[in-house]
Amino acid sequence: MSYAIGIDLGGTNIKYGLADHSGNILFESIRPTYLPGSSVYDNIGNSISEVKAFAASRELDIAGIGIGVPAIIDNGLVTGCFTNLPELEGMALGGRLEEQTGIRVWVDNDANLMGLAEWKYGAARGVSDAIFLTVGTGIGGAMVLNGQLYAGFRGRGAELGHIVVQAEGGYPCGCGGRGCLEAHASVKALIEDYLGNPHPVLPENINGSLIVARYLAGEAAALLAMNRHFDWLAAGVAGLINIFGPQMVIIGGGISESGEFYIREVSSRALARAMKETSVNTVIKAAQLGNKAGFLGAAGLVFSTFGGK
């Protein structure tokens, strides 16, 4: 049996591990993306070295390395990450790491790989058509269509957080547009709605978990903000259902783990808005893999690409 190294590269932390083709995790760890005196690229390399040492100590064969990056991967080049990871902009990350490690490397968008993980190992296992949304500071998305991860031509599609849900008077979005799902239904948008105005830097004492707790306690401001959050997210989900008619819509991100009520509210509102003909086979579920999805999906990318066992 062979194993794959999976790396989930974020703007704050790198989550990484070693997994087999069934998604069983043999090793996992986390380190800051930025460390004094070392580059992001060095930190990726050090993460790989740590997993390689673990595998060597147990005589495990490494089939490849998968890396999820919050960026577009176009013909092997990392692009569109200048804000969070400027060092990697324009870099042939996979090719460079292959030369350094002597191991095959595959790189893809991080949200795509979270969706791949839920499809191969989590909530959507055995499903041929699924949509994935990760609700956090922003909103990421992934699509599995007819049993294949789909990201558009040259990896520039599946930006599901940037479908427009409010054409007239929509909120400005970090992508440069207005009225995007992310601008209206992300946790950042929820906090700003709760506070009553946009905040360039969000207060540390207010977060999604606190607003959810106050919503459950019946606080009026939290009820208003959460109900608007549910409505915006449901509008986006309904639109995706009408376009793709998936068997499942999987919703992840920390706020989706608030309790069964969260998925129940999104599901009831989305299915009420979607066409009955497109949604007849659709189930809306919570993601199962939590913060392991990123590196598990990266490892799964290796097995999906070459079919190893």
pLDDT, residue 198, reads 67
pLDDT, residue 200, reads 66
Rounded Cα gap, residues 198 and 128, in angstroms: 40
Contact 181, 231 (CB under 8 A): no
Q: Which domains does the chain have, with CATH numbers?
A: 2-114+291-306 (3.30.420.40), 125-288 (3.30.420.40)
pLDDT, residue 307, reads 45
Q: For residue 64, how far is the Cα from the chain centroid?
A: 21
pLDDT, residue 199, reads 64
**Exposure class string for 289-309: b at 16+ Cβ within 10 A, else e:** bebbbbbbbbbbbbbbeeebe
Rounded Cα gap, residues 28 and 55, in angstroms: 12
CA distances from 127 to 67, 106, 111, 122, 205 (A): 24, 24, 18, 11, 40
Rounded Cα gap, residues 20 and 6, in angstroms: 10
Rounded Cα gap, residues 291 and 125, in angstroms: 18
What single string gives the DSSP state of each residue in 45-94? HHHHHHHHHHHHHTTPEEEEEEEEESSEEETTEEES-TTT-GGGTT--HH
Per-residue pLDDT of the chain (309 residues; tens, 9 = 90+): 899 999 999 988 999 999 999 999 999 999 999 999 899 999 999 999 999 999 999 999 999 999 999 999 998 899 988 777 999 999 999 999 999 999 999 999 999 999 999 999 999 999 999 999 999 888 989 999 999 889 888 888 889 999 999 988 899 988 889 999 999 999 999 999 999 876 666 777 899 999 999 999 999 999 999 999 999 999 999 999 999 999 999 999 989 999 999 999 999 999 999 999 999 999 999 999 999 999 999 999 999 874 444
Rounded Cα gap, residues 127 and 119, in angstroms: 7
